[in-house]
Structures are given as C-alpha cells and as structure tokens.
C-alpha cells in the first residue's frame, strides 16, 4: 500500500565533531559526529509543514548511534556549544507545501470571485421568447416621446407632467408604448420611484389609465402597463392579473401582450440557403 501522507526526514547541513568526547559504546576518543535530523509532514510526497527535530551522534569507529538523551554530559556540552555558535536551520522546502496550499487557496478564491463577476455580467438567457421581447421594449423608453414617434406616450407624458407635483423628477420619467392587435403595452421607467412609498406607487397606474381614458380611443384595447424602477419592475398590470404591491412585480404579467392576436396566424418562415450564407459572409 502506498502512503500518500506521513512524515519524512532529512539531515540538516551543519555537523559537529564532538572533540574530546569518548564513545559511550566503544569508548574511543574523538570518533563521534553529531547532527540534527529534522522531520516534516508530507502529503503526496510534498513537505507540508515541519514537525520534530532529533539530535543524534554517530560513532565512526563502532557505527553506534545515540540520541540526545543518551549523550554523556561532555557530549551534550560540546554539542550545545557548537550548535549555539553555528545553529542549524531547516531548509525552506520543509514548509513549501504550506505555500503551495496557500497559493492554491488564493487561486481558488480568485477564480470564484472572477466567476461570480462573469456570471453577473452575462445576461441571463431568457427562457421565454416573450421575456426577450419585453426586455428589448423596456430599453426603448424615452423621456421625450413625440406625436410622430409615440403619440400614446406623448399624451401620457403631458397628463403626468400636469398632474405630478414635485414628488418625482418629471424629466427623468421615460415612456414607451406599442400596440399588438387589440392590445396596448405601456412602459414607464421611473428611476426615482423610491421617493414614493411602495404602498402608494399604484397611483402611477391609475394616472396612466386616467390619461388614456381622458384622451379617448383606447376603450377597445386591452391594457398592459408596467412601471420599471431603478432595479426591477415595481408595478405590472394586465387584463388578467395585477401585481401592484409596489416593490417587486412579476414581468411575466406583461408577457401575454406579445402573444399573437386572435385570428392571426404566424407567417410561415421561409429559409433560403443561399441568403443565409450571404448573410454569414456579411457578418
Ligand atoms: Zn564507538
């Protein structure tokens, strides 16, 4: 069986001849050399961190080896003096696993952070085609709708500008409207909606409905109204469902606007191969 972790050892560089000492075993003089064996914990044979040190003496004559506890007093004295003047230090690689693990952890955390930012930047893939249509339309809002480009938004803006006091910055309210068969979609984008208490935000919907009523001509259209705040949609109203708690409205309330009108069939999609390749080349 292969041991993937455990302890390893190495003899440290400095060795100390024990001058004037006699071997405890063969009693020869000046035959001993002392040194230090340092141990370390390894994982997959990479030293991770240092553990114990053992001081030993070896006799060159009888080959006997002695641990520090077996040293005679004179051996201890000679060893201690020499070690104090030329101390042995561990090689740095005894702890290199710590650095490797530390670098690994830093890299892992770094990758997590990078991954998190990347996933934030990447737009979520819309699951529903209608979600993509709505997102696209929500980007088309403008603070200056004109009679020529978007007359409905133009009426609503006039009405809102008259009725609103200073609770909202009128110039920062953006509008968009669109008709699909017998349905009309109206989107308002109000970044400073937070100035209005969430419980009172549904008034905005009432204002939009009142504007349409006052102007006239919208009676036969099903109304889909969404109010987009700084971060998310805060109000969403459709003929089938209203989400007006003023904090977080489901955008999906507006999705049915994009469904094909009644008595309408999708045009058959005709694909011509040569055109496709042409387009690809252009791109
Ligand atoms: Zn000996």
Q: Which domains does the chain have, with CATH numbers?
A: 5-97 (no CATH), 129-258 (3.30.300)
Q: What is the pLDDT of residue 121?
A: 76
Quote the ligand 1 centre to 75 CA distance (angstroms). 13
Pair 191, 172: CB distance under 8 Å: yes
Residue 26 CA to ligand 1 center (angstroms) comes to: 4
Q: Give the Å distance between the CA of 33 and the centre of ligand 1.
A: 11
* Of 87-91, 185-189, 218-222, 262-266, highest mean pLDDT: 185-189
The helix (run of H) or strand (run of E) holding residue 223 is strand 222-228
Mean pLDDT of the chain: 87
CA 137 from chain center: how many Å? Answer: 29
Position 1 scores a pLDDT of 46
Cα of 29 from ligand 1 centre, angstroms: 8
SS3 211: helix
Judged by average pLDDT, the poorest of 44-48, 77-81, 223-227, 266-270 is 266-270
Residues 35-92 have pLDDT tens digits of: 999 999 888 888 888 888 999 999 999 999 999 999 999 999 999 999 999 988 888 8
Average pLDDT over residues 223-228: 96
| Cβ proximity of 126 and 247 under 8 Å | no
Work out the percent of the chain whose per-residue pLDDT is above 70: 90
> What's the CA gap between 169 and 14, in Å, rounded?
80
Q: Please list the residues that pair with 42 across neighbouring strands.
A: 6, 47
Mean pLDDT for 263-281 is 55
Give me ligand 1 centre to Cα 86, in Å.
Answer: 25
What confidence tens digit (pLDDT) does each residue in 190-216 have? Answer: 998 988 999 999 999 999 999 999 998
130-144 pLDDT, tens digit each: 999 999 999 999 999
Cα(253)–Cα(134) distance, integer angstroms: 11
**What pLDDT score was predicted for residue 89?**
85
Give distance in angstroms: CA of 67 to centre of ligand 1: 14
Residue 68 Cα to ligand 1 midpoint, Å, equals: 15
Q: Which residues pair with 29 in a beta bridge?
A: 22
| pLDDT reported for residue 49 | 85
Distance 69 CA to ligand 1 centre (A): 16
Q: Please give the helix or strand (H or E) that residue 53 lies within, else none.
A: strand 46-59
């Amino acid at each position: 069986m292969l041991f993937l972790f455990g302890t390893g050892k190495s003899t440290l560089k400095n060795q100390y001849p024990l001058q004037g000492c006699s071997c405890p075993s063969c009693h020869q003089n000046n035959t001993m050399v002392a040194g230090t064996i340092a141990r370390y914990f390894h994982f997959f044979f990479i030293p991770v961190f240092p553990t114990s040190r053992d001081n030993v003496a070896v006799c060159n004559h009888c080959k006997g080896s002695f641990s520090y506890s077996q040293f005679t007093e004179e051996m201890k004295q000679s060893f201690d003096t020499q070690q104090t003047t030329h101390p042995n230090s561990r090689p740095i690689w005894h702890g290199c696993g710590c650095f490797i693990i530390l670098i690994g952890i830093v890299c892992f955390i770094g990758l997590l952070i990078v991954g998190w930012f990347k996933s934030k930047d990447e737009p979520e893939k819309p699951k529903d085609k209608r979600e993509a249509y709505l997102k696209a339309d929500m980007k088309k809002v403008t603070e200056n709708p004109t009679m020529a480009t978007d007359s409905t938004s133009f009426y609503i803006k006039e009405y809102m500008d008259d009725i609103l006091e200073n609770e909202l910055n009128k110039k920062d309210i953006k509008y968009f409207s669109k008709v699909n068969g017998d349905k009309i979609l109206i989107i308002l984008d109000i970044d400073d909606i937070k100035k209005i208490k969430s419980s009172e935000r549904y008034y905005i919907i009432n204002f939009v409905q009142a504007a349409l009523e006052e102007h006239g001509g919208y009676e036969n259209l099903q109304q889909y109204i969404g109010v987009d705040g700084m971060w998310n949609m805060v109000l969403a109203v459709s003929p089938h469902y209203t989400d007006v708690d003023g904090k977080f409205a489901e955008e999906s309330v507006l999705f049915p606007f994009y469904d094909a009108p009644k008595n309408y069939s999708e045009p058959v999609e005709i694909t011509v191969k040569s055109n496709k390749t042409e387009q690809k080349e252009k791109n």
